[in-house]
């Protein structure tokens, strides 16, 4: 992971190089997105290092929802990660990226029979969300001519509470995810489910992500470990052989500092669930946002500037279509915005309180409201930082705006930068096809 100063310098180097190569251009490429693949590799290395002392096999899977671009998934595969998928689309993307089935985990609270059968056929790990799904897996396994190679577990909700963002807190008393472990009768029922099914050998939990303190996440994992220990004690042998602890490391969106770190996360686990490190259980993690968020940014040209009610407004080409959460819930998902001249050089001078508005046709399409920035002018460039996850990789198709190109960036042996297209910009023809248009259709039909 890059330190604060190097991260800022690297972004400007990328932005200036992109302008020179016309990957960002005031006529042909008004909006473009960049993912620093060297920074991603450093982050993955830090993740592996943080869990290096675990005395059992560890598989770090990447939560595909955080950035499901197939070339990004393939890059993470080459860096030694597995993949966590939560839909048929994400599973298809994981397979297309080359992940071996045994390095894929399928999670979702609404898996269909067809999805489960497909996963069991391929030998993909499955985390059942509830007792009804467990019954469904019973039937599918009974109908098979041969055993499945899938690792099968149940997701438990330890009900340890939420964090500052309710939508990101998955271990509340009434969370939709998993078997609520503290609800009356559930622990005994789940214990019996494990004792009755020799093929049920894994346990899964995920306490939450952004806004959830590390201590709470670790407490939830500790509750899952305690339940696994109870199952094994009742069985008289290691019925549960592995625990999937999910992900959930929060990301700092306030500045370039990487905090908390994977080392911080591992330390919290050591304090609350030391059994995870002694070799008693194989381990799977499912980090997503924390792996790629700080390695990506969006860059957009300012098209117009004006003033309303005495406040300057810069209208640019990045808005809700690439920063959906920020636009709709800005207090929860704020993004840093930096100002650059048309060459990509950081602007200086006195800061002016101004709005940075996007191109979508609704009043709330603001990526920054009342933000002190060097005064923006038409032709300038704004950068939306820390958007490598859940932003440009998950576009919002409002106003039928095109999906922008995404470029991966690496340093080369000569000290320069090498760009590769991870996703090309959407064409007008592709937008029409997505809208149901077929060549030869009569006008107006």
Q: What is the pLDDT of residues 191-230, one digit of tens each?
A: 999 999 999 999 999 998 899 999 999 999 999 999 999 9
Looking at domain 4-36+294-434, does it have CATH number 2.40.110.10?
no
pLDDT for res 168:
85
Q: Kindly report the backbone phi and psi dihedral angles of residue 16, in degrees, each rounded to the nearest multiple of 5, phi listed first.
A: -65, -40
Mean pLDDT score, 154-171: 90
Residue 327: which residues within 8 A CB-CB, separation 6 or more?
Answer: 319, 320, 358, 360, 364, 365, 366, 367
Q: Is the pLDDT of residue 327 over 90?
A: yes
Average pLDDT over residues 153-179: 91
Cα–Cα distance for residue pair 326/367, rounded to 1 Å:
6
**What is the DSSP secondary structure assignment for residue 131, as one 8-state letter?**
H
**Phi, psi (degrees; rounded to nearest 5) at 382:** -110, 145
Residue showing tokens 């002190």: 372
Please give the Cα distance from 433 to 445 (Å, whole number). 14
pLDDT value, residue 2:
46
Q: What is the pLDDT of residue 3?
A: 53
What is the percent of the chain where pLDDT is above 70?
98
Contact 208, 171 (CB under 8 A): yes
More confident residue, 445 or 83: 83
pLDDT attached to residue 444: 52
The pair of three-digit structure tokens given for residue 180, joined into one six-digit string: 């609520």
Calculate Rg over the CA atoms of the chain. Answer: 24
Query: Pairing state of beta strands 179-180 and 152-157?
Result: parallel
Of 156-170, 223-237, 250-264, 370-384, which gets the smallest average pLDDT? 156-170
Reference 380, options 14, 19, 10; nearest CA is 19
**For residue 52, what are the CA distances in angstroms to 60, 219, 221, 359?**
11, 21, 18, 46
Count H helices and E strands in the chain, helices first.
12, 18
Q: Which two tokens stand for residue 273?
A: 């669930």
pLDDT value, residue 7? 86
How far apart are alpha carbons 202 and 228 in whole angstroms? 9
Q: Closest Cα to residue 298, out of 356, 255, 332, 338?
A: 338
Q: Is residue 249's pLDDT more than 50?
A: yes
If you search the block for the tokens 């500037």, which residue do you land on?
305
List the structure tokens of 148. Answer: 């499945």
What is the per-residue pLDDT across 88-122, written as a single tens digit (0 to 9) for each? 999 999 999 999 999 999 999 999 999 999 999 99
Taking domain 40-290, whether its CATH number is 3.20.20.10 is answered by yes
> CB of 169 within 8 A of CB of 163?
yes
The answer to whether the CB of 356 falls within 8 A of the CB of 376 is yes
Q: Where are the domains of the chain?
A: 4-36+294-434, 40-290
pTM to 2 decimals?
0.96
């Amino acid at each position: 992971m890059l330190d604060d100063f190097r991260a800022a310098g690297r972004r400007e180097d990328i932005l200036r190089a992109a302008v020179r190569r016309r990957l960002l251009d005031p006529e042909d490429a008004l909006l473009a997105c960049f993912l620093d693949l060297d920074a991603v590799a450093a982050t993955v290395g830090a993740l592996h290092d943080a869990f290096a002392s675990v005395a059992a096999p560890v598989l770090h899977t990447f939560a595909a929802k955080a950035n499901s671009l197939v070339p990004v998934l393939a890059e993470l595969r080459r860096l030694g990660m597995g993949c966590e998928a939560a839909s048929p689309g994400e599973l298809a993307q994981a397979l297309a990226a080359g992940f071996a089935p045994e390095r894929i985990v399928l999670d979702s609270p609404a898996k269909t029979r067809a999805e489960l059968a497909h996963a069991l056929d391929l030998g993909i790990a499955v985390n059942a969300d509830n007792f009804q799904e467990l019954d469904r897996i019973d039937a599918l396994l009974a109908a098979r001519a041969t055993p499945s190679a899938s690792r099968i577990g149940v997701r438990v909700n330890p009900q340890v509470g939420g964090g500052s963002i309710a939508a990101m807190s998955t271990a509340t008393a009434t969370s939709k995810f998993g078997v609520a472990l503290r609800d009356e009768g559930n622990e005994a029922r789940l214990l019996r489910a494990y004792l009755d099914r020799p093929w049920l050998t894994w346990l899964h939990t995920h306490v939450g992500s952004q806004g959830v303190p590390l201590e709470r996440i670790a407490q939830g994992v500790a509750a899952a470990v305690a339940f696994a220990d109870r199952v094994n004690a009742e069985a008289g042998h290691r019925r549960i052989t592995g625990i999937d602890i999910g992900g959930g490391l929060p990301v700092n969106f306030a500045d370039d500092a990487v905090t908390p770190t994977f080392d911080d996360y591992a330390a919290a686990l050591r304090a609350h669930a030391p059994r995870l490190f002694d070799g008693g259980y194989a381990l799977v993690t499912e980090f997503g946002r924390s792996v790629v968020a700080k390695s990506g940014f969006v860059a957009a040209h300012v098209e117009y500037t004006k003033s309303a009610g005495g406040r300057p407004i810069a209208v640019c080409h990045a808005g809700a279509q690439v920063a959906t959460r920020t636009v709709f819930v800005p207090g929860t998902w704020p993004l840093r915005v930096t100002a650059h001249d048309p060459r990509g050089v950081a602007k200086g001078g006195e800061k002016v309180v101004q709005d940075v508005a996007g191109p979508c046709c609704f009043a709330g399409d603001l990526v920054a409201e009342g933000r002190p920035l060097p005064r923006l002018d038409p032709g300038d460039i704004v950068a939306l930082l820390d958007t490598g996850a859940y932003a440009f990789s998950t576009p919002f198709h409002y106003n039928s705006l095109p999906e922008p190109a995404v470029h991966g960036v690496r340093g080369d042996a000569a000290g320069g930068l090498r760009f590769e297209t991870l996703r090309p910009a959407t064409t007008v023809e592709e937008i029409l096809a997505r809208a149901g248009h077929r060549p030869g259709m009569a006008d107006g039909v």
